[in-house]
Copies of this chain bind each other. A is one copy, B any other.
């Protein structure tokens, strides 16, 4: 068989973008041998500048340098090339590693439309553009018969879409629920296990590097809601938006609530829930008491989980999938491998 060469444009060169390059480099021979694919990085677009190369960027060299646009500039210096402000996508695949922006969906949204225009397959890790414009993106992608995958935006290494699509096709799904946000689960688990207050726990999570300074999307329940919207649209073929989700975060969970949970041999989890009745869906995100006898109660700290309740295959529970840049990057690579 002839080796297939695939040229990739990446937008966003933060920790996930860089880890994705590291994986491409580490797995290069396996990808060639087992998938007959040669993945070439044609372009990387940072927040301040971009680099590109027709023969493929020298990933090994780039990985030794800084993160972000700084690293891209250093690369230009070393290779004695001019860094570019030209952010046009090139090649066969667009990989999105930009930060999630729920207001405008940018910068991912513009790149997505450009990629579709250029008949590129899409592998997305940020949620904003997808959640805000799912219907329009989906229609354009179908029209052009392109691949679109976004495990990176739906709990990454925890298989959510894969289980729905591959393990449960044509089942009658009665309910989907999940613990889908690592930061809020870390906070709730710490409150229960260490009997600490909300603010104190938040500080601990920040100091441990588990949550960022701006954790509003996490604790408000919006990150969970985004993931539920994408999972439900993808697996149940719906076109719901954030407006269809009743959202309550964990900011108001009190020490009293925690005490009550412990007294009842329970825990509190921020749960995303989707009930399906007569092909209609009802979506909700809220903190819930869960008995310690349930599997979901054992999903601790920054772990995540998803449960599918089906008529034909019973209940499928899946947890794990480390919350770290390497696992997030891996979920993009896995999507690419499964697409070809």
Interface residues of A (CB under 8 A from B): 23, 27, 30-31, 34, 157-159, 162-163, 166-171, 293-295, 298, 312-322, 324, 326-327, 330-331, 333-334, 337-338
Contact = CB atoms under 8 A, between A and B. Distances in A.
A159 B321 CA distance: 16
A62 B326 CA distance: 53
B320 A316 contact: yes
Nearest to A309: B320
B317 A318 contact: yes
A27 to B, nearest CB: 5
Query: How many copies, total?
Result: 2
Nearest to A159: B167
Contacts of A324: 314
A293 B158 CA distance: 21
Given A295-B319, A319-B295, A314 B157 contact: yes
B157 A316 contact: yes
Nearest to A338: B166
Nearest to A163: B159
A90 to B, nearest CB: 26
A34 B170 contact: yes
A322 B314 contact: yes
Contacts of A313: 157, 321-322, 327, 330-331, 334
B322 A170 contact: no
A152 to B, nearest CB: 12
Nearest to A169: B337
A38 to B, nearest CB: 15
B295 A170 contact: no
A162 B167 contact: yes
